[in-house]
Amino acid sequence: MKPINVGLLGIGTVGSGTFRVLQRNSEEISRRAGRAIRISVVADKDTARAQAIVGDAARVTADALEVVNDPQIDIVVELIGGYTVSKELVLKAIANGKHVVTANKALLALHGNEIFAAALKNGVTVAFEAAVGGGIPIIKSLREGLTANRIEWIAGIVNGTSNFILSEMRAKGAAFDDVLQEAQRLGFAEADPTFDIEGVDAAHKITIMAAICFGIPMQFSKAHVEGITKLTQDDIRYAEELGYRIKLLGIAKRKSAGFELRVHPTLIPTRQLIANVEGVMNAVLVKGDAVGQTMYYGAGAGAEPTASAVVADLVDVARMLTADPEHRVPHLAFQADQLSNAPILPMGEVETSYYLRLRVADKAGVLADITRILADQGISIEALVQKEPHAGEEQVDIIMLTHLTREKKIDAAIRRIEGLPVISGKITRIRMEALQ
């Protein structure tokens, strides 16, 4: 049978890993796909480096458009990143009747609706397992393995950089800035780590997973996004003392009025498996009504872990090339005309529990004033710890854990409490999830 010809756009870390995996495991891959899959042309601006990687196995060009317009190419693999040039190339490949495999979470989170509509119109597919969770097969699990379930919620550690930073801060007692520099030195963080540490990367990924879980369009602009830059060593230590770990979670939940879609630092009980995921590893916890909880764990980035997902997508596309387009697995698990229009809930309507840290004057009556304000908002306290003042200090830390409440109520309570003359500075608020 005629081999599948692949055009590779970008041969950086993931692209070179994809080339190596395809070369090394070519026999296994061919047996699984039913035909050979080969990268026949590579587009990269650094043609000399690209040629050094592929040798005589593929043609190299600096012109990505040449690849997407090549009539001999069956599948285009987009590993350029970003969402301007990559969008144009992907849409052009689709218009030319080519299937697309991409690891580009930002592209899909922002423009996935347009891209999937174009693919449906042209009878091609867009595969994107590598866009979320590196080598973890989370997209296939959500789209196919859990298809019998009404998925109730999903929560994931899906950014290895932020997880490494939080793990090191907890284990070594180091400050955020120091650990970030170490992550950059080790290659776990980019020179500009903004997307990672501010939660944007995780928000791209939870947007994609939420769309598949709930059968809703991509709605990145409606996600609440909060990073880890404001976390202090005090909060990590206090969380540990109370039996919790702080992780940057992407969370999506089904509610009667719509869906929650949020990324933020979260206190998780230490007894939960996901709370013990350390370093650059990723993990995703999914709750289905039939299966209960399932967890998916593994390397969330890296050349060959991500290449594993890219090649798996290539095999899937190769298997269904001759299939009727109307009977392929839908991009977002649900049929395109059956997507829900239920809204993404504003953050004020989100229900969760909270960790509050307050710096207060060490005097009588302070706690009574604070608890009265919380009671006025219908917020009950699950636990309260007042730390001993250091020698010569007239202020102490108070840590409170609340029961479940609505975010707009905690916002209103914080505004009033911060107005008390006995409160020093801003209140630290971190959301909590039991994940039960």
Catalytic residues, which ones? 205
Report which DSSP code applies to 187. Answer: T
Query: Strands, E, within 79-168: which ranges?
Result: 99-102, 126-127, 151-157
Q: Are strands 59-61 and 37-43 parallel, antiparallel or unpaired?
A: parallel
Other CB atoms within 10 Å distance of the CB of residue 157: 27
* Rounded to 5°, angle at Cα 71 from 114 and 81: 45
Report which DSSP code applies to 426. Answer: P
Q: CA–CA separation, 213 vs 294, rounded Å?
A: 13
- The number of angstroms, rounded, from the C-alpha of 112 to the middle of its chain's C-alpha atoms is 15
Structure token digits, residue 203 = 């928000």
Other CB atoms within 10 Å distance of the CB of residue 279: 13
Residue 344, amino acid: I
Q: CA–CA separation, 71 vs 67, rounded Å?
A: 9
Give me the phi and psi of 170, to 5 degrees please: -70, -45
Instruction: Answer yes or no: are the C-beta atoms of 287 and 253 closer than 8 Å.
Output: no
What residues are paired with 324 via a beta bridge? Answer: none
Other CB atoms within 10 Å distance of the CB of residue 309: 27
